[in-house]
Amino acid sequence: MTEYLCLTVRSRPSESEAEFKARLSTFWTGLLRTRPADFEKVYAEAVAFEEEEAERLGRKYLVEADIAETLSSELTRGELDFQPIDRDDLYSKYEAAPPDWFWIEH
């Protein structure tokens, strides 16, 4: 059974939801085009944004553990902030169930 890690990408302070959505869309589209095998290991996306400290939004994703380093590098290169990934906090695919999560179709 595949286990997943939770990745939380964070907006810039005071960035609007629309601006953040646009940056996320650009990032994930770029990853799909340049690293399709890695993109296939992104399992689910949280439906709702989370409010974080310092007027920031967060969006959670469940990703296969073996792409955590690659995603960290790509997010940094794409100038997207993210919370450190806790490699000990593992999830099963059953924990990413609708209506709180979208499963990403590949």
Domain containing 37 equals 4-103
CATH of the domain at 87: 3.30.70
Q: How many whole angstroms from its chain centre is CA 20?
A: 12
pLDDT tens over the chain, length 106 residues:
789 999 999 999 989 999 999 999 999 999 999 999 999 999 999 999 998 777 899 999 999 999 999 999 999 999 999 999 999 999 998 888 888 998 987 6
Q: What is the pLDDT of residue 97?
A: 85
| Residue type (1 letter), 95 | E
Q: Say if residues 56 and 12 touch (Cβ distance below 8 Å).
A: yes
Q: What is the pLDDT of residue 105?
A: 79
Q: Say if residues 6 and 62 touch (Cβ distance below 8 Å).
A: yes
CA pair distance 4, 72, nearest whole angstrom: 15
Give pTM, 2 decimals.
Answer: 0.91
**What is the number of domains present in the chain?**
1
Task: Please name which of 101, 86, 106, 92 lies closest in space to residue 45, comparing C-alpha atoms.
Answer: 101
CA pair distance 90, 66, nearest whole angstrom: 12
